[in-house]
Every structure is written in structure tokens, then in C-alpha cells.
Structure 1
Amino acid sequence: MSQDSFDFRQFSIDQTGCAMRVGTDGVLIGAWAGESCATDASLRCLDVGSGTGLVALMLAQRFPQARIEGVEIEPTAADCASSNAAASPFSERVNIHAGDFLAPSFLSTVPASGYDLIVSNPPYFRASLHAPDRQRTVARHEGDLTLEKLMEQAARFLGPNGLLALVTPYDRLGDLRMYAASSRLMPTRL
């Protein structure tokens, strides 16, 4: 199968029991993030909250010279993303870590020059009803990974000209601007 004909639909559910589904937000950020980057650039990318690995795999398809890492805190989802990456034509360039993006130990995985692109479809619900299953709640509701902490940590891990791309609902725009300013990040596109 050529990289041009790669079908991401096969990654919605796999044999490991991963029940996370491909959603519109992930597809949009996978198609949009890093659009100002040259497609032949040797980028270092990080997908925070990898879920099924969809965004990491879309970045690998769009940027053939890029090295993509994903980090996923929920163990079953991390296994799912790892399986999907291993089964893809991009397996040599996509690596998924099971772990916490906010943990001090994660720092040891960050490249010395930082990341060129960090993407996330973060959990952004704050005060809404939780899903009945833990995996969906972790994926959708702010817990330890708040928007503020995500932006602070991403700012630490970005290289000098690095980009952070997020999907958030419109009602979080005020928070997004405030946290960007406090993290010394400048919005370039909304």
C-alpha cells in the first residue's frame, strides 16, 4: 500500500479492545497542524494524548521526513496507538509512549533541540457529566492535564521556532489566550 493511499479508517478500533473512535477533532488537527511547515522538513513532532494514534499517523503521512512521538496516559489507549503505529507504513518513524506528559520523567524523552511541532486534541470538558467508562472520561474531561498545564509544558518542550497546535471549543478561547500569554506563546492562527 503506498503512503498516498493509506486508509486511516482502519484505525478506529483494533483487536486490542481499544474502544476510542476516530473523531472530527482529531481528523481536523491531523490535517491542519503544521501547515506552515515544509512537507520535506525533518521535523520532530509530539502528539500529546495520542488516543488511537490517528493524529500521529496523519502527521507521519503528511511529513515523510518527520519523526513523530506520541504520549498517552491511558494504558489501553497507549497500547492501541502503539499497535496502530506498528501496523502502519510509518512504523519506523512513529513511536508511542505510555505515560504522563506532565511527569518529570517525560523530560528525558524530549529532544535536546526541542520539538518543532506539538499537537493535542486535549481533554477540555471541565464541569460536565462524566462518561460511564474511565477511558472516555480521561480522553474528554480535564483532570490533571488542564489546558493551562498543557500549554506551560508544551512551551518548555518547543524548540526556538516550534509550533503548538490545539483543538479547543470556542468557549475556551479566553482561557487559551490567557494561558498562551502566561506561557510566552503567541497565537498565530485561530
Structure 2
Amino acid sequence: MAGKQDYQVKMTKTVAALESEYGTIRAGRANPAILDKVRVDYYGTPTPINQIAAVSVTEARNLTIQPWDITQLRAIEKAIYASDLGVNPQNDGKIIRIAFPPLTEERRKELVKTVRKYGEDAKVAIRSIRRDAIESLKEQKKGGELTEDDLKDAEKKVQDATDRFCKEIDGIAAKKEKEIMEI
């Protein structure tokens, strides 16, 4: 039964990864997590913006980026332009300001589709973890470590965890969709 907790840990990590992914989706307000995937060429090394600058939300739709090394302003601005965030950074020589325009209805619908796809991908990953856990339990039964009753109980626990995590994913996705569709 060594694998009993393994599958729950993997399922928990899948949900955490989904939440992290959702954090990078722009929902019409400024969120520093949006810049997490943007990499700046920092002396030849692709580096996340939050490791070379202070990123803060100044107003609901505005972010400011203040690099610790002022010579990196251009590189940060260039990296943001190269990303597919759909924003225009404003460089005043000391800090970079990013104003997030309100999302169009069409863009909101695209983002909701993306949210649903990520949610479905996470549920597929959860079901894959379930399959692996049940196969592992069956191997343990073949090896004589589990009785038939133990196998049935363990399979039920794995299925219950799967259902619980899928329901949690649906809740997280619904919350993100609601956030995106708010005007």
C-alpha cells in the first residue's frame, strides 16, 4: 500500500499546477502572475521578470515594473513586446508601466475556452493518475500483498479521491470563468 498517498500527492500537484496556469491568464485586471512566463535576456540568461525587478499593482488595471538594474529596462520592455500578452509597456526611463485595457467580448470568450481546456486537461491528468494507482493496486494483489476485499476498498478510495479532485477542478474553472466574464 506504499502508493496509497502517492496518487493523492500527484492529484494535489495537478490541481496546484492548474491554479498556477490560471494565474497567468489575463482577466481584465492587473495581476503580476501574468508576467511569470515572460523571460528577459539578462546577460545571456533567460530570466523571469520578477527575479530582476519589483513588479507591483498600482491600480486595478495597471502594473509597474521597477528593475533593480536600470540598464535592463530596454530588455524587459522588449521581452514584454515579444510575449503574446497583448499589452503595450510604457517606459519612462526609470520604470515600466503596463496598462491593461478592458477585454473585448470576443477575447473573453476565447479566454473562457482556454480555461475550459486547461480544466479538462487537468481532469485527464487526474484520471491518468487514477488509472496508474489502480494498476499498481492490482499488481500488489497479484504479488499477494492485498486481498480481494482490500483491493476493492483501495480502488473505491482512489475513485473517491478522483471524483473529489475533478469536482475541485470544476469549481476552480468555474470561478476563473466568472472572473473573466465580469465587466
TM-score, L = length of structure 2: 0.22
- Which protein, 1 or 2, shows the higher relative CO under an 8 Å CA cutoff with sep ≥ 6? 2
TM-score, L = length of structure 1: 0.21
User: Rg larger in 1 or in 2?
Assistant: 2
Could you say which structure has the higher helix fraction? 2
